[in-house]
Structure 1
Amino acid sequence: MDALRISRRQSIAGLSVAGLAGLLIPPALAQQKRETTGVGIGKKGAAIDDEDIFTFALNLEYMEAEFYLRATTGKGISDTDAGMDAGRVVGGHEAQFKEKAIREFIEETAENELAHVRFYRKTLGRSSISRPAIDFDAGFKAAAQAAGLPADFDPFADDMSVLLGGMLFEDVGVTAYAGAAPLLKKKEFVEAAAGILAVEAYHMGMARSQLYMMGEKAWDAANAISDARDKIDGTPEKEDEGIRVDGKANFVPSTPDAIAFTRTPQEVLRIVYLTEKAGVSKGGFYPNGMNGELKTT
């Protein structure tokens, strides 16, 4: 296909799949991605490396692990897994699950996210960051406001609430991994990112399908979260879809070619900081910002 006939977003999405398959992204296009989005630019204008991208992912995995562990056990990750200079985590409590199957789904998800934290910490070694400060209370309050949900929305309340809270993270995680994959250089890092993306997509499919079966209240809330994410990420392109589209179930948000949507780190940061502004380095779920080079919208 003539590259001039497809949009930049479509080209990057296609290259995400190529990257996940272990193929090489053309150097010129990788440079264009860095120049047009800011991805690939670190301190003093230096190109970011694979470790910077994995560090960015570890920030997100810390938040996911904390969310699911608190929902299933009432406690977060251990001091050993959080690192020497771990930030404080505010909010969260054990949920009152009604369905045994959903509790088991969330327990498995919590185990997966904790395993991801440990994998990144082991892979990054001495350069591994500690857990940043995380504020679930302020983050979900702002997220609920952005999505038009009740001001007292508690993502740790029950089955539906936990799934909605998880959907906020999982959909964003999938688009983040899909967007970052072409920027990775080391084959082993690409393979790891592909495997973790697949696990996050399993989580996302579980949450979206379970929410759909809960009926109209869940449809409306999930679609409101999707719309809010699409608005706040700072781009005019469609990068999100709700769980009900055109009167039918939609548990696979994707392009017309059935390719996962992609987001740059800056677009992801706008969502987790809950701001549409550029140049912001903290807020929302991360009151002191993320740790590492990639921390500014």
Structure 2
Amino acid sequence: MKKNLENDQKTIQERSKSAVDRRKFLKIGGLAVAGTSLMLYSCESEALTETDLSDSDEMFRKENKGRQVYNLGKGDLGILRYAYVLEQLEAAFYQNVVDGGYWMNSANAEEKLVFEDIYQHEKIHRDWFEKVLMPFENGKSERVLPKLEFDFSSINFNDRDSVMRNSILLEDTGVSAYNGAGPLLMNTDYLLLAGKIVSVEARHASTLRSLYGNTKYFAGDDVVNEQGLDLFSTPQEVLAAASGFIVTKINAQQLPTY
């Protein structure tokens, strides 16, 4: 299988030598999600049930030994909040990338364009979730999400290898997160959107793997199983894996499970 993947990767790389082609590959996915997001947002206000909105202020946000706790709640609303946490994380990470020494001083033209496009995609995803959640939090921005604290001190944003490895890890995790969250959604509109977003996250992951070089497969055995299916992770698994970056404590105990 690895030999076949190597051949596939070679073909893909030969067809994607120019930065313009790679940017088009990313932009198609980003524009598709943006358009769908605006369409779905127009009818979101009736999508969630009354039971999804029953979180009290005390449950929603409280203190734990000086640390703020963000309770995701339950149902589709809880899954939306969970996805919003992940998009906040990704947007914050790529903000650090484009502000870092590697992107500003040593990245080549193609790498700069790719990272800039990915950053813009993640901001679109983040902002969409904020707009969708706002009506269900009584229009209070602090109810949509408390100010999350992130810690990226383990990442050297001046070093290409550090940025690339962590970018790939983050995108692979994002793909598996949406794969795992999709089946938990009851509303088909949200499921449709999750499918569109995960396809963009997968574009990010594959583009970065290809951009990084031959040390990573375009769609390697570490992210595709023996049945040819992408891996998936539960919200609890994803939040545990991301806990090193997220300082704010996240309570996911009420999220739906399989």
**TM-score calculated relative to the size of structure 2:** 0.62
Quickly say closer, same or farther: Cα 1:289–1:56, change in 2 above 3 A.
same
1:205 maps to: 206
Report 1:1-297 matches (<5 A): 48-73=74-99, 95-126=104-135, 127=137, 128-137=144-153, 140=154, 154=156, 156-213=157-214, 219=215, 243=216, 250=220, 253-273=223-243, 284-290=244-250
Report how far residue 292 of structure 1 moved.
6.9
Does the 8 Å contact 1:69/1:107 carry over to 2?
Answer: no
Report how far residue 268 of structure 1 moved.
0.7
Quickly say closer, same or farther: Cα 1:286–1:294, change in 2 above 3 A.
farther
4+ residue stretches of structure 1 with deviation over 6 A?
Answer: 291-295
- Give the Cα–Cα distance (whole angstroms) in 1 for the partners of residues 112 and 246 of structure 2: 27
Does the 8 Å contact 1:59/1:131 carry over to 2?
Answer: no
Does the 8 Å contact 1:97/1:103 carry over to 2?
Answer: no
Quickly say closer, same or farther: Cα 1:115–1:158, change in 2 above 3 A.
same
1:149 maps to: none
> Cα RMSD between the aligned structures?
2.8
Report how far residue 48 of structure 1 moved.
2.2
Quickly say closer, same or farther: Cα 1:168–1:95, change in 2 above 3 A.
farther
Does the 8 Å contact 1:175/1:261 carry over to 2?
Answer: yes
**TM-score calculated relative to the size of structure 1:** 0.54
**Greater fraction of residues in helix:** 2
1:149-189 CA deviation, whole Å, 9 max, x = no partner? xxxx61x1143332212112111110010011011011110
- Give the Cα–Cα distance (whole angstroms) in 1 for the partners of residues 204 and 121 of structure 2: 9
1:228 maps to: none
Report how far residue 249 of structure 1 moved.
7.8
Report how far residue 95 of structure 1 moved.
4.7
1:2-53 CA deviation, whole Å, 9 max, x = no partner? xxxxxxxxxxxxxxxxxxxxxxxxxxxxxxxxxxxxxxxx97xxx8211111
- Give the Cα–Cα distance (whole angstroms) in 2 for the partners of residues 264 and 105 of structure 1: 29
1:261-286 CA deviation, whole Å, 9 max, x = no partner? 0100111122112xxxxxxxxxx211
- Give the Cα–Cα distance (whole angstroms) in 2 for the partners of residues 169 and 96 of structure 1: 23
- Give the Cα–Cα distance (whole angstroms) in 1 for the partners of residues 125 and 186 of structure 2: 20
* 3-state SS in 2 of match to 1:290: strand
| Matched residue type, 1:202 | R
- Give the Cα–Cα distance (whole angstroms) in 2 for the partners of residues 95 and 251 of structure 1: 33
- Give the Cα–Cα distance (whole angstroms) in 2 for the partners of residues 93 and 100 of structure 1: 12
Instruction: Structure 1: give runs of 5+ residues left out of the alignment.
Output: 1-41, 75-91, 141-152, 214-218, 220-242, 274-283
Name the structure, 1 or 2, with higher relative contact order (CA <8 Å, separation 6+): 2
- Give the Cα–Cα distance (whole angstroms) in 1 for the partners of residues 220 and 170 of structure 2: 18
Does the 8 Å contact 1:65/1:117 carry over to 2?
Answer: yes
| Matched residue type, 1:264 | T
Q: Percent identity?
A: 29
1:106-140 CA deviation, whole Å, 9 max, x = no partner? 00000000001101001111432144111111xx3
